[in-house]
Structure 1
Amino acid sequence: MVKSHLYIKLYEDLKQQIIEGQYQSGDKFPSKRALSQHLSVSNTTIEHAYQYLLDEGYIYSKPRSGYFVSDIENLPLIHRTGSPVEYDEDSKTIQNDVTTHYDYAFNLREIDTEYFPNQQFRKYARDTFEDNAVNLLQYTHPKGEWKLRQEIAHYLFYSRGVTCRPEQIIVGSSTEQLIYLLTDILAETDYIIENPSYPPIKNVLDKKEIFYAQFPVNKTGMDLKNLKTSNYHVAYVTPSHQFPTGYVMNLKKRTQLIHWAQQRTDRYIIEDDYDSEFRYFGKPIPALQSLDTKDKVIYISSFSKSLFPSCRIAYLVLPDKLVDKFDHMHNKPSNTVPTHMQHIVAKFMASGSFERHLNKMRKVYKAKLQYIIDALEPYHKQLKIDDALAGMHFTLTVKNKLTTEQCLARAKDNHLKIIPYSMYDDTITETKFILGFGGIPFSKIKDHTDALIKSLTV
């Protein structure tokens, strides 16, 4: 509790200093390490305070440069006439130039809406309101609607090899919300996460001030050489398509990780299987949970890519021991997903429409990715694509001595938005970008790729 009060007080003090003009627009803010040493407080306290300032737009970050004070005229909390700060969730930066317009963008987290079966989905929406009009007005079960959990269990078994019952499934509104719930179920424990890591897990652990260690990721997955000598209890991994690297954990490491978890009763693996529906090359890799014989893997995924982001449905598969802990929790949280949306998605899955939609979108996304790969091939001495086997993003390393700043400036001149890899890994020394292609329409994929080549090649 003391730590919580400390970082909130620090955030309030720094915010007030900015408002009062002790810092000017564009001034470099103290580094987290320097401020931590100066105030004799933990790095975690500084990180939380800075995150609050970032979230509210008082400061912004630049890759490998640090934090800078935003233009106070543009902050909506100050009753001035300036334009509000625009927050770009993909690049995690504050954009003070609200006039910037991009004709082309390799955004993350976007899907192709052109091929979504809107008519079918509307039909299931109408059926839901006709069939369950009264039930939709009531609170749903804390774990989610039974029909949806049945369909998820059926889907996971046939698509990912995950064996579970509907009772083991908890439906939530996002991966981050379910991770937050998991940290309550697992109570006081410490974590191993990947480095670089998928943002939701780090966000939750930082906010709740839970201790964690970061193990580096290489081409075969998380580096496990220090696993046996470590004293941690929970490992969080994205083995099927690691974010942001795109690497896939090999079978040897999967087996090692499971053996580690099975050695103690209080050890678990959290398998985040996001993007697993979309594998384009090579044999599909079964989920880590399907290899587990002693109930040590907690499985988590969502419908944000397989359906659409705004449906706000993610799901968690708990081992039986943790199901019992959840069932006996006092003050269990209410389910956060609207009842009607759960019924609609359940009908969509039960009819076979979900499976048909996935099959179609695999072909669509594979064709887009293949086009980009083929278009970049003549420039292979300058541009290196890494691990474009699955998911809806890939990484691209620039090998022609252009710096990240030079590439970003050239991209801006070409009205192109690209995301520096350093946004997710500030230790990187290469010029590297993480590019999402899911939301680019087929009709514009050539123009996007041409702008990319023009910006990153010499």
Structure 2
Amino acid sequence: MHELTINLRPSDKEPLYEQIYTYIKDEIRAGRILCKEKLPSTRALSSYLEVSRSTVELAYEQLLSEGYIESVPYRGFFVAQVDELYHLEAERKKDSFLEKKEESREQMEINGEKKIKYDFTPNGVDLKSFPYNTWRKLSREILSDDRTELFRLGDPRGEYEFRSVICRYLYQARGVNCTPEQVIVGAGSDYLMMLFCTIIGRDHVIAVENPTYKKAYRLFQSQEYKVMPVPMDGMGMKIDPLRKSGADIAYVTPSHQYPTGIVMPIGRRMELLKWAEEEEGRYIVEDDYDSEFRYKGKPIPALQGYDAHGKVVYLGTFSKSIAPAIRLSYMVLPPELCEAYQQKCRFLSSTVSKVDQLIVCRFIEEGYYERHLNKTRALYKSRHDQLILGLRPLAGQCRISGENAGVHLLLHFPGGREESELILRAAEEGIKVYGLSDYIVDEDEKREEATILLGYANMSEEKIKEACAVLGEIWKN
């Protein structure tokens, strides 16, 4: 484990979590902390630095979101493979455009990667809008009572009061029909998906959308399932290829497909449900990861709300809408799988403390969550609008999609443009953008056009404006 000797400056204008984040990032980039090296736990580092644990968690979450470190369940935080961070080295071998940039490339290799000034990560969350004062108030209220029960192991599924609140919220906001007995609370969607794997057993074939959320794809692979990428069209996962895949579990993100932003229409949803109903033992895993953020029209009801035969497993999270460090997600099981859970998993303890569950429970019950969502939606909408405005100079060069929901959009460049060229040109100006190719499971699949993902949750309107002005110049034909 690498020991971190950080000299914090409490009187400095820069927040403490940013100082921790900057120090670790610089150490990784300089090679002083090596790939795969383990970092101290948030608890150990906060104790060593004499700061709150939440301060260290904020720093780690920022490093996670930018790809400098990765979280390994039950093991801790490790330094990520940095040369994969910018996706440049492999692309150098492919792109003839880069051959013309040999001299500048060599200079970049000598001097190190150019400092990133603007990061359009599609996984960002705005932490500056986090309701710190409200969170402190609720924490004090819950801990003020000397209740021994708070520190005993609770229900493995999560506290009944909290699961009841989740049921009411899901019905009102997403049209999900469930009882508290069907809800399982867990520390993040990764844990809940592993729990789902334990519930269903290993004798299954899992279909995923292509392009897909790679983390889920890798998780299913790590659990030794046969994972089949299924192509998509403008309405989502194609049903005929799904049937031919031999899969009996389909993992989908129908309300806002990640990463393409496609919203699955009602017709395709009915086709998907019909596929699941055709054979016993078939299920759909609906990952509703960012349903709270929609900028045009009404929210799309969850697929689970149309399920009349117990075929949909619903996944949701508070990490995206509140903060990544709030490792609090939930899974809604159909009745048949609730019985399997009781048989196989009831001995497992809850992975979320009662205190954290009760804080979020009060946060929702007392109206703070709704107010926070309204504030965050307005904030993201302003950044979304600024990004659309800033991209106008590229109107003749590309088209935009996926802009009506979530916290990222896609730019499609026709005419033989290469993603690697677009990514490199941006990187040379200190701008980090992301290619859709990174989300393709079948590496041999030919992309008809270069596609770039631009996330805007982490960036101020001013930074978005500045970055777009540069992109408008460098991405012109």
Pair in the same fold by TM > 0.5: yes
What is the aligned counterpart of 2:137 among 123, 140, 154? 123
Residues 222-244 of structure 1: CA deviation (Å, up to 9, x unaligned): 11123445543211110011111
Aligned-residue offset at 1:132: 6.0
Residues 244-298 of structure 1: CA deviation (Å, up to 9, x unaligned): 1111111111001111212223111110111111111123210000111111111
Q: Does 1:448 align with 2:467?
A: yes
- Is the partner of 2:293 in helix, strand or coil? coil
Contact 2:287–2:316 (CA under 8 A) maintained in structure 1: yes
Q: Does 1:352 align with 2:361?
A: no
Q: Which stretch of structure 1 is more off in the superposition, 268-277 or 230-239?
A: 230-239
Structure 2 distance, partners of 1:144, 1:205, is 24
Contact 2:182–2:332 (CA under 8 A) maintained in structure 1: yes
Q: Does 1:147 align with 2:158?
A: no
Structure 1 distance, partners of 2:476, 2:162, is 48
Structure 1 residues 98 and 118: CA distance shift in structure 2, 3 A: farther
Aligned-residue offset at 1:443: 3.9
- The residue type paired with residue 278 of structure 1 is F
Residues 339-360 of structure 1: CA deviation (Å, up to 9, x unaligned): 3211111110110110111122
Structure 1 residues 436 and 420: CA distance shift in structure 2, 3 A: same
Using the size of structure 1 for normalisation, the TM-score is 0.77
Structure 1 residues 391 and 140: CA distance shift in structure 2, 3 A: same
- Provide the residue aligned with 2:227 in structure 1: 212
Structure 2 distance, partners of 1:311, 1:331, is 24
- The residue type paired with residue 459 of structure 2 is I
Aligned-residue offset at 1:441: 2.0
What is the aligned counterpart of 2:254 among 239, 247, 263? 239
CA RMSD of aligned residues (A): 2.6
Contact 1:111–1:308 (CA under 8 A) maintained in structure 2: yes
Structure 2 distance, partners of 1:297, 1:191, is 14
Aligned-residue offset at 1:137: 2.2
- The residue type paired with residue 437 of structure 1 is Y
- The residue type paired with residue 121 of structure 2 is N
What is the aligned counterpart of 1:407 among 422, 439, 456? 422
Name stretches of at least 5 consecutive residues in structure 2 with no aligned partner: 1-77, 94-108
Contact 1:114–1:441 (CA under 8 A) maintained in structure 2: no
Aligned runs of 1:313-324 on 2, under 5 Å?
313-324=328-339
- Provide the residue aligned with 2:453 in structure 1: 434
- Provide the residue aligned with 1:303 in structure 2: 318
Structure 1 residues 370 and 163: CA distance shift in structure 2, 3 A: same
Aligned-residue offset at 1:217: 1.4
Contact 1:60–1:67 (CA under 8 A) maintained in structure 2: no
- The residue type paired with residue 389 of structure 2 is D
Structure 1 distance, partners of 2:393, 2:427, is 23
What is the aligned counterpart of 1:380 among 395, 416, 420? 395
Q: Does 1:135 align with 2:154?
A: no
Structure 1 distance, partners of 2:120, 2:390, is 15
Structure 1 residues 67 and 408: CA distance shift in structure 2, 3 A: closer
Aligned-residue offset at 1:331: 6.9
Structure 1 residues 455 and 261: CA distance shift in structure 2, 3 A: same
Count of equivalent residues: 379
Structure 2 distance, partners of 1:151, 1:442, is 35
Structure 1 residues 254 and 412: CA distance shift in structure 2, 3 A: same
Aligned-residue offset at 1:67: 12
Aligned-residue offset at 1:64: 10
Using the size of structure 2 for normalisation, the TM-score is 0.74
Q: Which stretch of structure 1 is more off in the superposition, 326-335 or 120-129?
A: 326-335
Q: Which stretch of structure 1 is more off in the superposition, 130-139 or 162-171?
A: 130-139
Name stretches of at least 5 consecutive residues in structure 1 with no aligned partner: 1-53, 69-94
Q: Does 1:271 align with 2:290?
A: no
- Is the partner of 1:309 in helix, strand or coil? coil
- Provide the residue aligned with 2:188 in structure 1: 174
Identity %: 35
Aligned-residue offset at 1:136: 3.1
Contact 1:178–1:316 (CA under 8 A) maintained in structure 2: yes
Structure 1 distance, partners of 2:219, 2:208, is 12
